[in-house]
Structure 1
Amino acid sequence: MWSTRPVAPLVMAAALLMASNTAMAEKTQNLDELVNSTITPLMKQQDIPGMAVAVIVDGKTHIYHYGLADVKNQRPVTDDTLFELGSVSKTFTGIAGGYAVQSGILRLNDPVARYAPQLTSPQWRKITMLQLATYTAGGLPLQVPDDVDNTDALWLYYQHWRPQWTPGTQRQYSNASIGLFGALAVKNSGLSFDAFMKQHVFTPLQLNHTWINVPAEAEKDYAWGYRNGQPVRVSPGMLDAEAYGVKTTVKDMAAFMQANIDPEALAAKEAGLAKAIAIAQTGYYKIGDMYQGLGWEMYPWPADAEKVITASGNDLALKARPAKRLSPSRPVTAATWLHKTGSTNGFGAYIVFIPEKKVGIVMLANKNYPNPARVSAAWQILQKLP
């Protein structure tokens, strides 16, 4: 005759499991409602054709798709849709620079002339690679001028450029600055920037749908961006790969964010990359309340929402502001709001995460819309997470 004594514990275990699953389902439903109630009105207000959003909570990734990647052909946004990251690409460039540092082929405090001997003008013996990376070289412009369209013209441009301010004293956001940093950071590897990024960042993080140059087989997944209702994509330009050239999917960006939230998890298999991420997340200059890393912009957590949102607007973000070199540099801490906005003519991207809370959000859109609206939407979601 079978004993019935084990039944009570089994029933209790089953009940606990059912309760746990129910609680998890309710938590997911609440998150879905929170994200949908934030993103849907945002898209309507900003007239955004399509978006993909990833939210990380307690180490788990939740993916959301909205609208169309291609309006003409009614192609919906999916896990595989490729978006242009614009300046969010700079966080990848920062990690590439960090990898070059930890591998011994770059020293941030070296003068630029050490890596570009063709730049013989005296300022390049004083401006450091770190100052290029943090936009504090002395006033390089937002963009490389349009008439600089080949390598010879590029070097001639930098040779004749002169600092407006003493290097290291003012931060002025600049593709021409961090773009040159990226190109020179990988120079001693013998690899192109694209190849270096693939070998040392994309592949180790298993970002299998992340590209600088989208291959023919992935073109079918490449979204169209929209400007004034017309389809557009980013145009080639000098140092575009280093400053704003990455195209990727929401799933790859979620994996990238997870690695940045917890780089120590990479240490066993990818020790060099874990160190590179930590180097990129280090605060080297302080500008107001913000710390400037390699690509990343950071605020101590808890942060002031109004200040972070206001500072993301172009009227302040692109303005020259006093910068203070931190000595020693500020190592990354878990209680930090790390974020970056990015735009091309037809796309708008945003990534933010707080390592201490193990939460983060990626928002990819095929329209360039105001940065404060992106940061505000992410803040609304993050503040309501458990």
Structure 2
Amino acid sequence: MKKLLSLVLLFSLSPCSVVASPDLTSQQVTLLVQQTIEPLLKQQAIPGMSVAVLYKGRAQYINFGLADVESGRAVTENTIFELGSVSKTFTGVLASVLIRNGDLRLTEPVKKYWPELSGAQWQNIRMLHLATYTAGGLPLQLPDTVTDQASLLSYYQNWQPQAAPGTIRQYSNASIGLFGYLMTKGRFEEAMIKSVFQPLRLTRTFFTVPKTMMFDYAWGYKNGQPIRVSPGMLDAEAYGIKSSARDMLTFMQANANPNGLSSGNTLLRNAIMTSQSRYFETGLMFQGLGWEIYNWPVAVQTLVDASDNNVALSAQPTKMVTPAGPTDRASWVHKTGATNGFGAYIAFIPARNTGIVMLANKNYPNPERVKAAFHILEALQ
């Protein structure tokens, strides 16, 4: 206990010097997580959360609260949560599989993958621009009037960019969603299951939760009322995956240490490294395929400021990294995600083989997720 309290006292909101210390025990890791998460749950009125910790390659789970307030069903590491935009990291890994297979080239024009996009504005937009939110200002969401392929084509044909491709980054489901749809020729879910879910043996990760698993599907909460995500165009590609902390830890382990995958997963191992390459630089953040990446060490305030929606959702000047920067294990790699009733966060430091997954059944502010996760990971020296 004294050792853990000493580690917690070492934490501050500015970069910390690394203090050599013996490894923490599982009990100490649990206590650290509890001391950090329990006040957060109370402050944000979050009904339940499942936390998965990867500590120097060692996995453990710490669960809190309720998956279903009405029934009193408790959260476990097998409880299924909506990932929201954390789904984009899966899209990035799948894209990298296709790149490694020679089925996708990021430098190719979008029009090659959808010839019906004949508008002049698409002339210089590449698949890489869609993947990295740099096409010129595609919006966060598609309009509600887009409900089928015809209206989807009509929307993109009439959309007009506010900037030249590759000059601004504006976070967009409409951008990466179209990317995922086109790269798989409309067979996104099938391709994801075959190339990512199955090789990683993710048995509780779905686009549509099957009836046999509905008991483990948590209810999300908004204003105290239960809610789950509604279907929408390009939802699978941008925000539609549901998963458990156990499966997400498996996914994080593979991304934090792809060399740990079996020899039979060489393609996926190489794809994961491709997804963590650095394609565009926006401030101190590098945009990977799905992943957002910072040089490590990084100040927590840098991460907190960038995660605030006033910044994260705004159009920001960006520049292309030429050639794309390779994977750097000295990185903070992360992604936030939310639906109306859920809030998710994943962050890891490959050089330490250490990371965290936080799955909650309430959408609460991104900066609070980042601060809690940074506190925990910084103490896991």
TM-score (norm 2): 0.93
| Aligned equivalent of 2:6 | none
Name the structure 1 match of 2:9. none
Match for residue 196 of structure 2? 201
How far, CA to CA, are the matches of 1:313 and 1:135 in structure 2?
Answer: 17
Partner of 1:343: helix, strand, or coil? Answer: strand
Residue 304 (structure 2) aligns with: 309
The question of 1:272 aligning with 2:270 is answered no
Q: 1:153 aligns with which of 133, 148, 151?
A: 151
Counterpart AA for 2:63: H
**Residue of structure 2 in register with 1:213 after alignment:** 208
For 1:108 and 1:266, how far apart are their aligned partners in 2? Answer: 25
Cα shift at 1:24: 9.5
Match of 2:286, SS state, is strand
SS in 1 for 2:202: coil
Work out the CA distance in 2 between the residues paired with 1:24 and 1:332: 29
Aligned equivalents of 1:26 and 1:207: distance in 2?
A: 28
Inter-partner Cα distance in structure 1 for 2:128 and 2:352: 30
Aligned to 1:80: 78
Q: Does 1:343 align with 2:338?
A: yes
- How far apart, CA to CA, are the structure 1 residues paired with 2:132 and 2:56? 31
Paired position in structure 1 for 2:122: 124
1:19 aligned residue: none
Gaps of 5+ in 1: 1-22
Partner in structure 1 of residue 7 of structure 2: none
1:167 aligns with 2:165: yes
Task: Report the count of equivalent residues.
Answer: 361
Say if 2:54 and 2:354, in contact at 8 Å, map to a contact too.
Answer: yes
Secondary structure of the residue aligned to 2:25 is helix
Residues 130-149 of structure 1: pairs in structure 2 closer than 5 A: 130-149=128-147
Partner of 2:252: 257
* Distance of 1:160 and 1:150 partners within structure 2: 16
Runs of 4+ in structure 1 off by over 4 angstroms are 23-26
Contact map agreement 2:356 2:373 (CA 8 A) in 1: yes
The counterpart of 1:379, out of the listed 355, 363, 374, is 374
| Per-residue deviation, 1:266 | 2.2
CA distance in 2, matches of 1:119, 1:275: 32
Once the two structures are TM-superposed, the CA of residue 79 in structure 1 deviates from its matched residue by: 2.2
Bigger CA drift: 240-249 or 264-273? 264-273
Among candidates 276, 279, 296, match of residue 281 of structure 1: 276
- Secondary structure of the corresponding residue to residue 174 of structure 2: helix
1:338-358 alpha-carbon deviations (Å, 9 max, x no partner): 000000000000000001011
Using the alignment, how far apart are the partners of 2:273 and 2:253 within structure 1?
A: 14
Does the Cα contact within 8 Å between 2:24 and 2:380 map onto a contact in 1?
no
Report the CA distance shift for 1:276/1:26 in structure 2 as closer, same or farther (over 3 A).
closer
For 2:232, the aligned partner's letter is G
1:339/1:145 CA distance change after superposition, 3 Å: same
SS of the residue 1:286 aligns to: strand
The offset of 1:272, in angstroms, is 1.1
Shifted more, 87-96 versus 73-82: the winner is 73-82
Aligned to 2:364: 369
* Bigger radius of gyration among the two: 1
User: How far apart, CA to CA, are the structure 1 residues paired with 2:262 and 2:105?
Assistant: 22
Deviation at 1:26, TM superposition (A): 6.5
Alpha-carbon separation, structure 2, partners of 1:248 and 1:308: 25
- In the alignment, the residues of structure 2 paired with residue 104 and residue 147 of structure 1 have an alpha-carbon distance, to the nearest angstrom, of 35
SS of the residue corresponding to residue 269 of structure 1 reads helix
Gap runs ≥5 in structure 2: 1-20
Amino acid at match of 1:192: R
Structure 2 Cα separation of the partners of residues 80 and 332 of structure 1: 31
Equivalents in 1 of 2:380, 2:292: separation in Å? 22
2: CA distance between counterparts of 1:155 and 1:332?
35
Q: In 1, distance between residues paired with 2:89 and 2:82?
A: 14
Residue 214 of structure 1 deviates from its aligned partner by: 1.0
Post-superposition CA distance 1:101-121 (Å, at most 9, x none): 111111001000000011111
| Secondary structure in 1 matching 2:264 | coil
By how many angstroms is 1:162 displaced? 1.2
CA displacement at 1:49 relative to structure 2: 0.1
Structure 2 counterpart of 1:242:
237
Alignment-mate amino acid for residue 377 of structure 1? A
Aligned equivalents of 1:318, 1:67: Cα separation in 2: 31
The residue type equivalent to 1:150 in the other structure is D
Q: Give distance in 2, aligned partners of 1:263 and 1:184.
A: 27
RMSD, matched Cα: 1.3
- SS of the equivalent of 1:56 reads strand
- 1:223-234 matches, within 5 Å, as 223-234=218-229
Query: CA separation in 1, counterparts of 2:24 and 2:122?
Result: 58
> What SS does the corresponding residue of 1:363 show, helix, strand or coil?
strand
Change (3 A) 1:150 1:26: closer
Partners of 1:360 and 1:25 lie apart in 2 by: 15
Secondary structure, aligned partner of 2:327: coil
Q: Deviations over 1:316-355 (max 9, x none)?
A: 0001000100111111111000000000000000000001
Aligned to 1:13: none
Quick one: distance in 1 between partners of 2:199 and 2:166?
34
| TM-score, normalised via structure 1 length | 0.92
Equivalence for 1:42: 40
* One-letter amino acid of the counterpart of residue 104, structure 2: L
Structure 1, 303-312 or 196-205: larger mean CA deviation = 303-312
Query: Which deviates more, 27-36 or 280-289?
Result: 27-36
For 1:197-241, what per-residue CA distance to the aligned partner results, in whole angstroms no more than 9, with x for missing partners? 000000000111100111111111110000000000001110000
